Amino acid sequence: MGYRLKPKYFDDVLSALSKHYDIMAPALMPFETRHSAQEVVGYRKIESLKEIVVDKKTFFSPKEILFPPRETMFYFTDSKIRESEYEEKNKIILLRTCDLNGIERLKNMFLNNGDVKDNYFKRRFESTKFWLIECDDGFDSCFCASMNSNKADSYSTAIKFTEEDILVDSNDNMFSELFKSYGVEEDYKVSFIEKNKLEVKVPLSENINPAVFEHDIWQEYIKRCIACGRCNTSCISCSCFTTHDIIYDDNKRRGERRRVWAGCHLDNFSIMAGGHDYRTKNGERMRFKTMHKIYDYHKRFGKHMCVGCGRCDDVCPEYISFSKCINKLYDIIEKENDK
């Protein structure tokens, strides 16, 4: 059973939950753009309905809440190591279907990719509840349906913002009780987008052959891509990081190890021990990212890594379109298959 809440009662729910949770939602972030006096929509803690932005896509994804851009992993002295403690409040994240699927992709990378689980991701993930925001039409650059990421079921609460009220449906008893006491019963079930304005055709894995890796399609990106890494940092499913050791000034025998986001488009990302860099050209990096998003990950986990959020298309300063790149690849591969 779902519920309908008036805005002021939804605020009461947020206020009651704020005692136990930090509520993270799409909201305006003043002074966080490259230009002065402009605001960007991103993820931050909110306290009331009026702060939540639902008519714009966030520039960055909610992955930064579960996998922060920089994070201390452990502290060390010359004889001891102590893992960083996690003292943050539990969280509720309001997010869209593509991003919830993107977090599932991150979960595979951090928790299901071999025998060792990433404790830093695990402790954040396990103390987070996900509230799914129902999409109306999606945004122009979305292609979640093409990536089979337009539906999800791993949410605790689904939520629809209408002009007047808020509709909710929760499978979590604590949230349900709260909605019941502040709202009226309504037969609400979340609806999913079936088709986006943008359609992307993804080549079948079995049709991708080694010749594709050497194809001229990648040449275009050698000059166009400037290796800024924005497509990596804005991507919900990019999980790469590097580590830095910080030695404290006051005592050179103490310090901490931090992990910091990294990305396959950035210089130095593919340098190995001994100094050899095996992807120096930006076109090679575009090829690596594309194949990881629509081929390698799928082979390992049975789903595409890319969830079609379209942020990489939105943020690229060189107007490089990842969705167009996949479509071009599809045409090349299909043409080869027709021969």
The number of residues that bind ligand SF4 (CB under 6 A) is 26
What's the closest the beta carbon of residue 36 comes to ligand SF4, in angstroms? 23
Minimum CB distance to ligand SF4 smaller for 43 or for 182: 43
What's the closest the beta carbon of residue 319 comes to ligand SF4, in angstroms? 8
Minimum CB distance to ligand SF4 smaller for 197 or for 253: 197
What's the closest the beta carbon of residue 53 comes to ligand SF4, in angstroms? 19
Minimum CB distance to ligand SF4 smaller for 125 or for 288: 288
What's the closest the beta carbon of residue 327 comes to ligand SF4, in angstroms? 13
C-alpha separations of 310 from 140, 220, 232, 251, 260 in Å? 9, 20, 12, 46, 23
Reported as type and span, the H/E element at residue 166 is strand 166-170
Answer yes or no: are the C-beta atoms of 255 and 248 closer than 8 Å.
yes
Distance between CA 197 and CA 5 in Å, rounded?
A: 31
At 317, list the tokens: 């300063």
Contact pattern from residue 74 through residue 103 relative to ligand SF4, giving x for each residue in contact according to CB under 6 A and a dash for the rest: ----------------------------x-
Minimum CB distance to ligand SF4 smaller for 128 or for 237: 237
Minimum CB distance to ligand SF4 smaller for 23 or for 144: 144
Burial class (CB in 10 A: 0-12, 13-18, 19+), 132: buried
What's the closest the beta carbon of residue 268 comes to ligand SF4, in angstroms? 14
Distance between CA 112 and CA 116 in Å, rounded?
A: 8
Cβ neighbours for 136, distance < 8 A, ≥ 6 positions apart: none
Contact pattern from residue 257 through residue 276 relative to ligand SF4, giving x for each residue in contact according to CB under 6 A and a dash for the rest: --------x-----------
Distance between CA 42 and CA 94 in Å, rounded?
A: 12
Distance between CA 111 and CA 46 in Å, rounded?
A: 29
Of residues 218-257, which lie at the interface with ligand SF4 (CB under 6 A)? 225-231, 234-237
Cβ neighbours for 80, distance < 8 A, ≥ 6 positions apart: none
Minimum CB distance to ligand SF4 smaller for 83 or for 140: 140
Return the amino acid letter for 328: K
C-alpha separations of 306 from 167, 254, 297, 326, 336 in Å? 29, 40, 9, 11, 24
What's the closest the beta carbon of residue 143 comes to ligand SF4, in angstroms? 7
What's the closest the beta carbon of residue 292 comes to ligand SF4, in angstroms? 9
Contact pattern from residue 164 through residue 203 relative to ligand SF4, giving x for each residue in contact according to CB under 6 A and a dash for the rest: ----------------------------------------
Contact pattern from residue 290 through residue 329 relative to ligand SF4, giving x for each residue in contact according to CB under 6 A and a dash for the rest: ---x------------xxxxxxx---xxx-x-x-------
Give me Rg for the CA atoms of the chain.
Answer: 22
Minimum CB distance to ligand SF4 smaller for 17 or for 208: 208
What's the closest the beta carbon of residue 322 comes to ligand SF4, in angstroms? 5
Minimum CB distance to ligand SF4 smaller for 129 or for 285: 285
Q: Quick check: 145 binds ligand SF4 (CB under 6 A)?
A: no
Cβ neighbours for 133, distance < 8 A, ≥ 6 positions apart: 26, 54, 94, 95, 96, 159, 160, 161
Helix residue spans in the chain (DSSP H): 7-17, 63-66, 97-111, 119-125, 173-182, 210-213, 220-224, 230-234, 282-291, 297-301, 311-315, 322-338
CA quadruple 40, 319, 334, 305: dihedral, nearest 10? -30
Minimum CB distance to ligand SF4 smaller for 172 or for 318: 318
Report the interface residues with ligand SF4, using CB under 6 A. Answer: 102, 225-231, 234-237, 265, 293, 306-312, 316-318, 320, 322
